[in-house]
Structure 1
Amino acid sequence: MHRESGTTTRTTPPHPTSDVLVVGAGPTGLLLAGDLAEAGLDVTLLERRAPGISNLTRSLVVHARTLEQFDARGLAEDVIATGHPVTSLQLFGDVRMDPTGLPTRYPYVLVTPQFEVERVLAERARKAGVTFAYGNEVTGIRQDADSVTATVRTTDGATGEYRAAYLAGTDGVHSGVRRALGLPFPGKAVIRSVVLADVRLTEAPTEPLVAKADGDAFALVAGFGDGWYRVIAWHRRRQADDTAPVDLAEVRELTRLAHGTDYGMREARWMSRFHSDERQVPEYRVGRAFLAGDAAHVHSPAGGQGMNTGLQDAANLSWKLIAALRGRATDELLDTYHAERHPVGRTVLRSSGALIRFALLQTRAQRVAGALVGQVVKHVPPLTRRAIAQVSGIGIAYRRGRGDHPLTGRRAPDIRLADGSRLYEALRGNRFVLITPAYETPELGGRDTTRLAHGTWRGDRRTALLVRPDGYIAWATDTMDRAARADALAAALLHWTGPAEQEPAAAASARR
């Protein structure tokens, strides 16, 4: 093994053990591994590729809710610096998403290539101490009561094993972890022979991100803000295998057919062809193994929700694994990962599928009907706001239990706290944040997992909130009965953060 930028890079596996194995060094795996390592856990990140980040990536937008998750990790400004904020995103026809009214610090869509997001997340993971094990492809998984073991094949054909308390498969649409777990991936191909290219243009489009369809052709053109543009193009009657070569002439023609111009397209730094599926695994958890990102769900690129949904998966799972490994959580908390994220993945699959179907309506009658629906969405503000909230992630909430406060499961906005700081600053370090009115200072029982902050929910001086590390509200109360309020808070803290002054539980059984 050797040291590289503060990170141990293994090319052959000496049967090492870790707290968590993360399989797949895309954005989802990098965020998850970084979260776990920053919490002091021993994390090994297995990646079948050789070292280095590939720029052959499809994702090009980061939405507001993902930027909030980056903010809670002190990464938002680094990611924003890589891209180009835009304030209008065309969904289909002349229906646009205007995120400027979203209740967030980030009321825009950030256009940036996926490899830039990976670069920021990889730097953070290295600094946190994640062990990167490149050239290792998972071929099998076995589990017992205390650990999970991954069998791997290296690039030189050798085999070996890695062992940990838990494993997360974030290894993409062709996930080896999913196959090793024997899980199906039901669904179908939505659109075939999609052409992607990063090109230079002689004439800049009138908008930084514009999508158009004309007859059988569709093309989206988005500027990265540095002179390069991403083109995603497709033609209904020109279907080719994913392995068929792409040349600049084809990209020019498809763009010209859809937009009426190719914008003087010239140099290309890369080109590719792919097909888009709609698929979702039925279970996100199998014992000590979890699936996240494209390993768990894939859908059409419409709305740019793919990478963002995977990153939200990671944000949901990381704090729960940390709590489990520190002995602060029951197995039921780990079950909530599937319970919360599977419905979100299904919703994104349906909404992105609806968007692509609107864009690709075939007959004149279908296009007329689609235009009418588009006008309804465009001119009925509640529908427009709901669509924007859904695509941006700001409107996503988790189901609350019977009898829970109406705020439970909802995203917490970036509340301005009484000391002048912000909620998402207080969340940094994988902490819960208890927000109470200034007159109330409850005892936290020595819990170093929870920070007490004074603030108000939209000016309401009665509401107290317990915010989870992923920025969702775990518990809330409005009662003014002091005894009932204290009892409810004590029960919430016990349920979510464990007993006061709980000794950390090491994953010793997985290391024996």
Structure 2
Amino acid sequence: MSETESAGGTEEVVVVGAGPAGLWLAAELRLQGVPVTVLEARTERDAHSKALTLHPRTLEILGMRGLADTFLSEGMQVPTGHFGSLESRMDFRVLDTPYPFTLFLPQARTEALLEEHARSRGARILRGHRVTGLEQEPEAVRIEAEGPEGPYVLRARHVVGCDGTRSVVRRAAGIDFPGTDATVWGWLGDVVLERPPVLPLSASGPHGGLMAVPMPGGVTRFVGHAPEDRCAGHPGEPTIEEVRERTRRIVGDDFGMRDPRWLSRFGNATRQAAAYREGRVLLAGDAAHMHFPAGGVGLNVGFQDATNLGWKLAATVLGTAPGGLLDTYHAERHPVGAALLASTRAQTALMTGYSPEGQALRGVLSELIDTVPEFSRVLAERLAALDVRHPPAGPAAHPLTGTRAPDLAFADGTRLFPLLRDGRHLLLELDGHRGTDVVPEGRPLPHGTRRHTVRPVAPGARWSEVRRVLIRPDGHVA
């Protein structure tokens, strides 16, 4: 291969893929002062939005970095959510979060905002640069890529694959991607309507399921599935005639569909990377997990992968990380990915329950959501990722260790989330007294830890007896 060596020596971190996970990871690394280059094969941002929803935990993370209001100003707040397209919807307003809703915001706009943020932090984002392979060396990773001026080689201390389900980085690193192939297919159509119904529209029955939501520019998105969409191989992209026919059969009208802007097919292939780290190569987002897009959680879990990885990789690069810190990325996020796959599989089974037995199951679960508030709340917390608890290091750990810290209010008028804006560890001394510079186990505080000595206001039962607590840069209790 004809190649040129990139000038400037070895990069610190190269992120492959400028989707939501890759852009957010780049911004988080820059927050810590780590140089980062993002390589993206596409020359232009994808105008089609696969994802449409930001969940409460994602909004909390944006709030911790001072960005939530920017996203909220552009999206539509939806106070309810669905599990497996059940008729009854979960009420997010009962959740303990400043953002008790999902935010409807097309992925294309989410990516534009994240790219603007990453660039403002100093991330180097190169479009039209396609990674073709890589090889790990003792002190770096050798990356083969093709750019606008031809093939070249780049070296980096660490490489993170955020390059989707067909990840070149994952394959080149030799990381297995076990799972199951697709057996069920759904379809998507962004179309113009002559007779628009009241939106959003949702329907499910023995003939299939359908959801329709408004999109920018006078376009309506239809997403659906039907019994005849069960097959082992990819059935080909849908036609506008097929989308019309399926819609008429499910809801009795095609609403005068015309002028398709995007028609696509997606399946329930379910896979997870066997390892999120292999030496100097790491994975995040869709490169690490693949699933049916049930519940709109995929973008959010990838974003949260990047939040967990960002500060750990930065500390490793800067030489301030304790031994084994980078390995905790896999230990903490792989179980979250496994739970994601279990949830989307369960939702897929509910969504495709076309038989009388399947319809009966849907009816029973819908009734439980309506009549058992705790059942509905637990489902909502899981979908929103507010229930994630990373495993503590030992059995004697405090019950709050590893849990997500809520946006505590303090007597001096401050709140927790804004105190995490700089991405540093935060030691809260909630009894109002300044303590020593060690954590209870006798270890020194992490490098750069900030202290906030203050008393909380109405902390709630779980936090009322807490005197000192160390909060990680990602908002979890250390």
TM-score by length of 2: 0.89
Provide the C-alpha distance between the structure 1 equivalents of 2:432 and 2:343, rounded to a whole number of angstroms: 44
Q: CA deviation at 1:227?
A: 4.3
SS of residue matched to 2:158: strand
Structure 2 segments unaligned to the other structure (5+ residues): 438-444
How large is the Cα RMSD of the aligned pairs?
A: 2.5
After superposition, the Cα gap between the structure-2 partners of 1:417 and 1:13, relative to the gap in structure 1 and judged at 3 Å, is farther
Residue 232 of structure 1 corresponds to which residue in structure 2? 223
Tell me whether 1:26 sits opposite 2:19 in the alignment: yes
Provide the C-alpha distance between the structure 1 equivalents of 2:192 and 2:82, rounded to a whole number of angstroms: 21
Within the candidate set 390, 394, 398, 2:390 is matched to 398
SS of residue matched to 1:304: coil
Residue 123 of structure 2 corresponds to which residue in structure 1? 130
Provide the C-alpha distance between the structure 2 equivalents of 1:77 and 1:202, rounded to a whole number of angstroms: 35
Residue 302 of structure 2 corresponds to which residue in structure 1? 310
Within the candidate set 375, 394, 397, 1:383 is matched to 375
Within the candidate set 205, 208, 216, 1:217 is matched to 208
Counterpart residue identity of residue 409, structure 1: G
Tell me whether 1:337 sits opposite 2:329 in the alignment: yes
SS of residue matched to 1:95: coil
Q: Is the 8 A contact 1:279 1:297 kept in 2?
A: yes
SS of residue matched to 1:212: strand
Question: What are the within-5 Å matches in structure 2 for residues 96-115 of structure 1?
Answer: 96-115=89-108
Residue 269 of structure 2 corresponds to which residue in structure 1? 277
Give the percent of matched residue pairs that are identical in Structure 1 and Structure 2. 37
Shifted more, 177-186 versus 268-277: the winner is 268-277
Q: CA deviation at 1:143?
A: 2.1
Q: CA deviation at 1:381?
A: 2.5
Q: Deviations over 1:111-153 (max 9, x none)?
A: 1111111000000111111112222222222223322221223
Between Structure 1 and Structure 2, how many residues are aligned?
A: 461
Q: Deviations over 1:283-326 (max 9, x none)?
A: 00001111010000011111111000000000000010111122
Tell me whether 1:64 sits opposite 2:56 in the alignment: yes
Q: CA deviation at 1:193?
A: 4.1
After superposition, the Cα gap between the structure-2 partners of 1:113 and 1:56, relative to the gap in structure 1 and judged at 3 Å, is same
Residue 452 of structure 2 corresponds to which residue in structure 1? 452
Provide the C-alpha distance between the structure 1 equivalents of 2:142 and 2:264, rounded to a whole number of angstroms: 35
Shifted more, 185-194 versus 120-129: the winner is 185-194
Counterpart residue identity of residue 254, structure 1: R
Q: CA deviation at 1:189?
A: 3.2
Provide the C-alpha distance between the structure 2 equivalents of 1:226 and 1:453, rounded to a whole number of angstroms: 50
Provide the C-alpha distance between the structure 2 equivalents of 1:49 and 1:135, rounded to a whole number of angstroms: 5
Provide the C-alpha distance between the structure 2 equivalents of 1:285 and 1:454, rounded to a whole number of angstroms: 39
Question: What are the within-5 Å matches in structure 2 for residues 32-51 of structure 1?
Answer: 32-50=25-43
Provide the C-alpha distance between the structure 1 equivalents of 2:15 and 2:157, rounded to a whole number of angstroms: 11
After superposition, the Cα gap between the structure-2 partners of 1:386 and 1:13, relative to the gap in structure 1 and judged at 3 Å, is farther
Tell me whether 1:465 sits opposite 2:469 in the alignment: yes
After superposition, the Cα gap between the structure-2 partners of 1:239 and 1:38, relative to the gap in structure 1 and judged at 3 Å, is same
SS of residue matched to 1:333: coil
SS of residue matched to 1:441: coil
Q: Deviations over 1:390-442 (max 9, x none)?
A: 00111121122311100001111111123212211110111112122253123
SS of residue matched to 2:410: coil
SS of residue matched to 1:106: coil
SS of residue matched to 1:302: coil
Shifted more, 462-471 versus 374-383: the winner is 374-383
Counterpart residue identity of residue 237, structure 1: E
Provide the C-alpha distance between the structure 1 equivalents of 2:450 and 2:158, rounded to a whole number of angstroms: 24
Q: CA deviation at 1:38?
A: 2.5
Counterpart residue identity of residue 383, structure 2: V
Q: Is the 8 A contact 2:12 2:34 kept in 1?
A: yes
Residue 425 of structure 2 corresponds to which residue in structure 1? 432
Provide the C-alpha distance between the structure 2 equivalents of 1:226 and 1:442, rounded to a whole number of angstroms: 57
After superposition, the Cα gap between the structure-2 partners of 1:226 and 1:284, relative to the gap in structure 1 and judged at 3 Å, is same
Q: Is the 8 A contact 2:34 2:318 kept in 1?
A: no
Provide the C-alpha distance between the structure 2 equivalents of 1:404 and 1:239, rounded to a whole number of angstroms: 47
SS of residue matched to 2:300: helix
Q: CA deviation at 1:238?
A: 4.7
Counterpart residue identity of residue 226, structure 2: H
SS of residue matched to 1:198: strand
Q: CA deviation at 1:370?
A: 3.8
After superposition, the Cα gap between the structure-2 partners of 1:305 and 1:443, relative to the gap in structure 1 and judged at 3 Å, is same
Structure 1 segments unaligned to the other structure (5+ residues): 1-10, 475-512
Residue 502 of structure 1 corresponds to which residue in structure 2? none
Q: Deviations over 1:50-71 (max 9, x none)?
A: 1x21122311111000001111
Provide the C-alpha distance between the structure 2 equivalents of 1:453 and 1:207, rounded to a whole number of angstroms: 49
Shifted more, 28-37 versus 261-270: the winner is 261-270
Shifted more, 128-137 versus 309-318: the winner is 128-137
Provide the C-alpha distance between the structure 2 equivalents of 1:464 and 1:166, rounded to a whole number of angstroms: 35
Residue 435 of structure 2 corresponds to which residue in structure 1? 442
After superposition, the Cα gap between the structure-2 partners of 1:15 and 1:273, relative to the gap in structure 1 and judged at 3 Å, is farther
Q: Is the 8 A contact 1:216 1:237 kept in 2?
A: no
Provide the C-alpha distance between the structure 1 equivalents of 2:261 and 2:73, rounded to a whole number of angstroms: 21
